[in-house]
Chain A
Amino acid sequence: AQTVTQSQPEMSVQEAETVTLSCTYDTSENNYYLFWYKQPPSRQMILVIRQEAYKQQNATENRFSVNFQKAAKSFSLKISDSQLGDTAMYFCVLLARGATNKLIFGTGTLLAVQP
């Protein structure tokens, strides 16, 4: 079975500061993808960043970067220079590579960026 665990239900950060969201996962697959999605109050689920398991280099997208530790099955998201618009629920998501688009979601971390 594949599982994703997010142990931080809520977090808060001051505007312009840096915050790290944690995620651990479990899968028996060797090839898989990991994602961070955000869901703001509008409910629109938006892809933040994606990591392919076979790539050792950590993914980066502007202010967002990940720390991917494959052996430890850990996948954390770092948000630099936090902005008010970053306030959202953040989901860590696992997808086994192959003939499927079935996403396995963690329980989410509600991030509040304070002015």
Chain B
Amino acid sequence: KAGVTQTPRYLIKTRGQQVTLSCSPISGHRSVSWYQQTPGQGLQFLFEYFSETQRNKGNFPGRFSGRQFSNSRSEMNVSTLELGDSALYLCASSLRDRGDTEAFFGQGTRLTVV
């Protein structure tokens, strides 16, 4: 059974550009969550999708957005990149939306903004 797949694994972008990260959940999983991991702030929740609907959003500026497609794949987009957006972005998928099943994580996308 394939795990959670995040692409690309590494990205280098210039300040002011925008970026799109992709997450393919485990087959059959309908919930996808995104987290930002930085040395200073640790792991912070970005947003959560279930059946193409955003159910929760973390405390991030509007430059951070996401969506989920009918096949449960999810994308997150960051516009007008800032140096502080450099981070590891992790995606997690779960079977249901109620927290009663295990969250499986991808290996992350390492974004570097220069």
Size bin of chain A's contact surface: 20 to 34
Chain B interface size, under 10 / 10 to 19 / 20 to 34 / 35 or more? 20 to 34
Given A100-B48, A101-B94, A103-B92, does the pair A33, B43 have CB atoms closer than 8 Å? no
Whether the Cβ atoms of B92 and A101 lie closer than 8 Å is: yes
Asked if A55 is at the interface (CB within 8 A of a chain B CB), the reply is no
Tell me the bound Cα distance from A87 to B35 in angstroms. 23
CB pair A44 B31 closer than 8 Å: no
Task: Confirm or deny: A21 has a beta carbon within 8 angstroms of a beta carbon on chain B.
Answer: no
Closest to B33 in A: A101
- Cβ B99 vs Cβ A50 within 8 A: no
Which A residues lie within 8 Å of B105 (CB)?
Answer: 44-46
Contact with A along B88-109 (1 / 0, CB 8 A): 1010101001111011010110
The number of inter-chain residue pairs (CB within 8 angstroms) is 61
Question: Would you give the 0/1 interface string for A80-115, flagging 1 where the beta carbon is closer than 8 Å to chain B?
Answer: 000000000001000111111111111110000000
Residue ID in chain A nearest B57 by CB atoms: A102
Decide yes or no: A104 and B45 within 8 Å by CB, A44-B107, A45-B90 being known contacts: yes
Question: Does the CB pair A99–B55 fall under 8 Å?
Answer: yes
B contacts, CB < 8 Å to A:
31, 33, 35, 42-45, 48, 50, 55-56, 58, 88, 90, 92, 94, 97-100, 102-103, 105, 107-108
Given A103-B33, A105-B42, 6 extra CB contacts under 8 A: A96-B99, A97-B100, A99-B55, A102-B48, A103-B92, A105-B35
